[in-house]
């Protein structure tokens, strides 16, 4: 069947709007709109039937019948005017009849666009994206319609709606659509009787480095182990395992300045709770969710946070980041190098001479070779129990007392330093305790530098 034959067949049974008619043939012809395409089909069909009607000696009734279908079912005014001019009985236009496919959505898009615009008051953004969900009744009806008339060149109602609403909103706001990484996304939920809109704001990512000067502060918030964050007597009904964290000291100012709903802290690895992070700090990316303000004074925020958390936490090197950099930060955490300072206690007293001999053995045994570390007992409840091979790059040691030493250790990211020293009951080999042939324990640990 030709386009004209299919169009007449459609209107003999259903009324669909001009927008939906054009959409049924949207893959045919380019550089036009569905409305223009639908109008052109109806106009060409009207002209063809008018011509055949005029050239027929007996004024063929079939052509007049086709014109009546176009006037009455398609509600195409030019067809109505032709019938009126030719003195043919006019059909009664049923103006209240709605489009069988879209229920007149495309003839009345302004309320959809206006409600979306009303929801973005005081939200800062440079671009947007439209998305939609139609209920199954509408989708199923359209699928059956396409099968019935063998419509193979059609466009989905979703893509048509997204494009047309996008044009209206873009024109009103004077902001462009963005398909890959939009600042905000309008999601329309549409059924045959009503619609609703959800506005999604793309997260804002801020990169920086943090120093942690106090021990016994975790990197991120921990729920109370006893109540899992619900609040109980053991945690004094705070829901927290620890009073605060690096995340909780840093994030409130960012949330306040950006008017975000919440945040997620992404660290480039993490130090233990009792380990200080010194030097030029550990890289992190703070993800601010649903921010209403995207342009932040990062220098001012940095000053506020550092002043408020003096001698606790310091942040530096703030800049805007991205979701892709979060992935890279996580992926490359174990590819970094780290320098640690460890205060080490010996169960047995050791002379300085013995210490220096053992330090030499330590370097010979560990530097340049892969140590083997099985997941430490202290973290095996939350990490996979497996053996990891890691590199040690340098070791320097200082003899302070007969049972107290200081070591500067440079390693590959991901090395468990405390277990490297103690041996963790044989789970790390070789270890400092193995080389010194006595029990060694890390009393205090600091991270001095993290770099690629």
301 shares a domain with 212: yes
- CA distances to 20, 23, 38, 65, 76 from 41, rounded to whole Å, are 12, 11, 5, 17, 11
* Separation of alpha carbons 10 and 142, rounded Å: 13
Check 126, 262, 272, 385 and give the catalytic one. 272
* Separation of alpha carbons 407 and 398, rounded Å: 6
Closest CA relative to residue 156, chosen from 142, 145, 135: 142
Q: Would 412 be classed as within a structural domain?
A: yes
125 shares a domain with 10: no
- What is the CATH classification number for the domain harbouring 126? 3.30.2130.30
Final residue of a structural domain among 201, 225, 260: 201
Q: Is 57 a catalytic residue?
A: no
Q: In which residue ranges of the chain is pLDDT below 50?
A: none
Q: Would 235 be classed as within a structural domain?
A: yes
For residue 95, the model assigns a pLDDT of 63
Query: Any residues with CB less than 8 A from the CB of 57 and at least 6 apart, and which?
Result: none
For residue 58, the model assigns a pLDDT of 63
Q: Would 252 be classed as within a structural domain?
A: yes
Number of domains in the chain: 4
Q: What is the pTM assigned to this prediction?
A: 0.83
Rounded to 5°, the CA angle 439-342-248 comes to 120
For residue 174, the model assigns a pLDDT of 95
272 shares a domain with 390: no
Residue 201's H or E segment, with its range, is: strand 195-201
73 shares a domain with 9: yes
Reduced to 3 states (helix: H, G, I; strand: E, B; else coil), residue 42 is: helix
Q: Would 104 be classed as within a structural domain?
A: no
Final residue of a structural domain among 307, 331, 355: 331
Q: Would 94 be classed as within a structural domain?
A: no
Query: Exposed, middle or buried by CB within 10 Å (0-12, 13-18, 19+), for 83?
Result: buried
- What is the CATH classification number for the domain harbouring 399? 3.30.70.3190
183 shares a domain with 147: yes
Q: Would 95 be classed as within a structural domain?
A: no
114 shares a domain with 52: no
Instruction: Give DSSP secondary structure letters for 212-264.
Output: E-SSS--SS--B-TTTTTS--TTTTTS-BSSS--HHHHHHHHHHHHHT-SEEE
160 shares a domain with 116: yes
297 shares a domain with 208: yes
Q: Would 293 be classed as within a structural domain?
A: yes
172 shares a domain with 231: no
pLDDT one-digit tens code per residue, 194-210: 999 999 999 999 999 99
Query: Any residues with CB less than 8 A from the CB of 175 and at least 6 apart, and which?
Result: 125, 126, 127, 128, 169
184 shares a domain with 296: no
- CA distances to 139, 160, 182 from 186, rounded to whole Å, are 20, 15, 10
Q: Would 98 be classed as within a structural domain?
A: no
Range(s) of the domain holding residue 312? 204-331
325 shares a domain with 209: yes
295 shares a domain with 224: yes
Final residue of a structural domain among 331, 361, 385: 331
For residue 92, the model assigns a pLDDT of 67
For residue 308, the model assigns a pLDDT of 96
- What is the CATH classification number for the domain harbouring 326? 3.30.70.2510
* Separation of alpha carbons 257 and 380, rounded Å: 39
């Amino acid at each position: 069947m030709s386009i004209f034959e299919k169009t007449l067949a459609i209107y003999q049974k259903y009324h669909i709007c001009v927008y939906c008619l054009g959409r049924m043939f949207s893959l045919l012809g380019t550089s036009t709109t569905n409305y223009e395409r639908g109008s052109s089909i109806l106009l060409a069909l009207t002209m063809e039937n008018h011509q055949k009607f005029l050239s027929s000696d007996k004024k063929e009734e079939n052509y007049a019948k086709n014109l009546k279908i176009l006037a009455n079912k398609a509600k195409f005014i030019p067809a109505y005017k032709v019938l009126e001019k030719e003195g043919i009985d006019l059909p009664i236009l049923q103006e209240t009849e709605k489009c069988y496919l879209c229920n007149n959505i495309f003839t009345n898009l302004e309320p959809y666009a206006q409600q979306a615009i009303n929801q973005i008051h005081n939200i800062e953004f440079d671009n947007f994206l439209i998305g939609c969900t139609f209920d199954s009744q509408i989708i199923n009806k359209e699928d059956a319609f396409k099968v019935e008339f063998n419509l193979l060149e059609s466009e989905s109602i979703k893509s048509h709606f997204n494009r047309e609403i996008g044009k209206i909103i873009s024109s009103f706001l004077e902001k462009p659509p963005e398909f890959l990484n939009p600042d905000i996304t309008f999601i329309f939920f549409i059924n045959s009787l009503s619609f609703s809109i959800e506005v999604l704001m793309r997260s804002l990512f801020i990169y920086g480095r943090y120093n942690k000067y106090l021990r016994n502060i975790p990197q991120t918030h921990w729920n109370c182990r006893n109540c899992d964050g619900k609040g109980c007597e053991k945690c004094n009904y705070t829901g927290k395992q620890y009073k605060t964290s690096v995340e909780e000291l840093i994030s409130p100012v960012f949330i306040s300045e950006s008017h975000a709903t919440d945040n997620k802290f992404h660290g480039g690895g993490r130090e233990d709770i009792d380990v200080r992070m010194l030097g030029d700090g550990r890289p992190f990316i703070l993800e601010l969710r649903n921010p209403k303000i995207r342009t932040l004074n990062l220098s001012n925020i940095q000053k506020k946070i550092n002043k408020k958390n003096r001698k606790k936490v310091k942040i530096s090197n703030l800049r805007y980041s991205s979701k892709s950099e979060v992935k890279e930060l996580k992926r490359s955490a174990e590819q970094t190098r780290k320098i640690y300072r460890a205060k080490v206690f010996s169960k047995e007293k050791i002379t300085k001479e013995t210490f220096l001999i053992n330090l030499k053995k330590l370097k010979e045994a560990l530097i340049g070779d892969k140590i083997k570390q099985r997941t430490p007992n202290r973290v095996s409840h939350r990490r996979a129990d497996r053996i990891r091979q890691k590199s040690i790059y340098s070791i320097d040691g200082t003899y302070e007392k007969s049972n107290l030493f200081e070591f500067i250790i440079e390693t590959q990211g991901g090395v468990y330093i405390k277990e490297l020293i103690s041996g963790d009951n044989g789970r790390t080999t070789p270890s400092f305790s193995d080389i010194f042939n006595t029990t060694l324990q890390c009393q205090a640990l600091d991270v001095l530098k993290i770099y690629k």
